[in-house]
Structure 1
Amino acid sequence: MASPPPSTTPSVTPPSVTSLRVVDGGQTVLPQNLEAEAALLGALMIDNRLVEDVVTRLKPEHFADALHGRIYAQLLNLSAKGMAATPVTLKPLFDADPAMAELGGPAYLAGLTQNGAALLAARDFARQIYDLALLRELIRVGREMVTEASDTSREIAPIEQIEAAEMALYKVAEAGEVQGAVKSFRDAALEAVQMADRAKRSGGHLSGYTTGLVGLNEKMGGLHKSDLVILAGRPAMGKTSLATNIAFSCAKRFADDRERGIEPGKSSGAPVAFFSLEMSADQLATRILAEQSQVNSEALRMGKISDEEFTRLARAASDLSSLPLVIDDTPGLSIAALRTRARRLKRQHGIGLVVVDYLQLLTGSKSGGTDNRVQEISEITRGLKTLAKELQVPVLALSQLSRAVENREDKRPQLADLRESGTIEQDSDIVLFVYREEYYHGLKQPDPEDGDKHAKWREKAEKIFGLAEVIVAKQRHGATGTVPLTFIKQYTKFADRAEGDYGGQPW
Structure 2
Amino acid sequence: MASEPIPFPAPASADESGIRALPANLEAEAAFLGAALIDNRVIEEHAGNLRPQHFFEPLHQRIYERILQLLDRNATVTPVTLKPYFEADEALKELGGITYLARLTADGQGLLAPRELAAQIYDLALLRELVSVGRNLVTGAMDTSNDVAPMQQVEEAEAALYAVADGASSGREAQTFAVATRISLGMIEQALLSGGHVSGTTTGLTSVNEKIGGLHESDLLILAGRPGMGKTALATNIAFNAADRMRRDLVDGIAADKSVGAAVAFFSLEMSADQLATRILAEQSGISSEMLRMGKISRDDFQQLSFASQRLAELPLYIDDTPALSIAALRARARRLKRRHDIGLIVVDYLQLLQGSGRAQDNRVNEISEISRGLKTLAKELNVPVLALSQLSRAVEQREDKRPMLSDLRESGSIEQDADIVLFVFREDYYVGSREPKRPVEGDDAKTHDAHAQWAADMERVYGLAELIVAKQRHGSTGKVRLRFEPRITKFSDLAEGDRASNGYD
TM-score greater than 0.5 by the shorter chain: yes
Question: Partners in 1 of 2:162 and 2:309 — Cα distance?
Answer: 40
The answer for unaligned runs of 5 or more in structure 1 is 1-10, 22-30, 32-119, 121-128, 145-160, 503-507
Structure 1 pair 184–415 and aligned structure 2 pair: CA distance change class (3 A): same
State the shift of 1:15 in Å: 6.5
Match of 1:461 in 2: 459
State the shift of 1:369 in Å: 3.3
Which secondary structure does the structure 2 equivalent of 1:273 belong to?
Answer: strand
Q: Does 1:432 align with 2:423?
A: yes
Match of 2:225 in 1: 233
The answer for unaligned runs of 5 or more in structure 2 is 1-9, 23-93, 95-127, 144-149, 441-447, 501-506
Match of 1:406 in 2: 397
Superimposed CA distance per residue, residues 344-375 of structure 1 (whole angstroms, 9 cap, x where no aligned partner) = 00000000000000000000011x53320111
Which secondary structure does the structure 1 equivalent of 2:250 belong to?
Answer: helix
1:198-209 aligned within 5 A: 198-209=190-201
State the shift of 1:292 in Å: 0.3
Q: Give the share of equivalent positions with the same residue, in percent.
A: 59
Match of 2:332 in 1: 340
1:260-299 aligned within 5 A: 260-299=252-291
Question: Partners in 1 of 2:422 and 2:230 — Cα distance?
Answer: 16
State the shift of 1:179 in Å: 5.4
State the shift of 1:171 in Å: 4.9
Match of 1:245 in 2: 237
Match of 1:496 in 2: 494
1:29-178 aligned within 5 A: 134-139=133-138, 168-171=157-160, 177=169
> Which of 468, 481, 484 matches 2:482?
484
Which secondary structure does the structure 1 equivalent of 2:361 belong to?
Answer: helix
State the shift of 1:142 in Å: 9.1
Which secondary structure does the structure 2 equivalent of 1:212 belong to?
Answer: coil
Structure 1 pair 295–336 and aligned structure 2 pair: CA distance change class (3 A): same
Structure 1 pair 17–466 and aligned structure 2 pair: CA distance change class (3 A): farther
Q: Does 1:393 align with 2:390?
A: no
Q: Does 1:380 align with 2:371?
A: yes
Question: Partners in 2 of 1:230 and 1:259 — Cα distance?
Answer: 31
Question: Partners in 2 of 1:165 and 1:183 — Cα distance?
Answer: 28
Q: Does 1:182 align with 2:174?
A: yes
Which secondary structure does the structure 1 equivalent of 2:496 belong to?
Answer: coil
* One-letter amino acid of the counterpart of residue 247, structure 1: A
CA contact (8 A) 2:162 2:335 kept: no
Question: Partners in 1 of 2:332 and 2:204 — Cα distance?
Answer: 28
Superimposed CA distance per residue, residues 386-426 of structure 1 (whole angstroms, 9 cap, x where no aligned partner) = 11011000000000000000000000000000000001000
Match of 1:215 in 2: 207
Match of 2:118 in 1: none
Cα RMSD (Å): 3.1
Question: Partners in 2 of 1:413 and 1:305 — Cα distance?
Answer: 38
Structure 1 pair 13–489 and aligned structure 2 pair: CA distance change class (3 A): closer
Superimposed CA distance per residue, residues 125-155 of structure 1 (whole angstroms, 9 cap, x where no aligned partner) = xxxx9987643344478999xxxxxxxxxxx
Structure 1 pair 131–205 and aligned structure 2 pair: CA distance change class (3 A): closer
State the shift of 1:433 in Å: 0.2
* One-letter amino acid of the counterpart of residue 486, structure 1: R
State the shift of 1:194 in Å: 1.3
**TM-score, length-normalised on structure 2?**
0.68
Superimposed CA distance per residue, residues 178-236 of structure 1 (whole angstroms, 9 cap, x where no aligned partner) = 95141122211111111111111111111111101000000000000000000000000
**TM-score, length-normalised on structure 1?**
0.68
Q: Does 1:311 align with 2:311?
A: no
* One-letter amino acid of the counterpart of residue 445, structure 1: E
* One-letter amino acid of the counterpart of residue 252, structure 2: R
Question: Partners in 2 of 1:133 and 1:191 — Cα distance?
Answer: 29
* One-letter amino acid of the counterpart of residue 375, structure 2: L
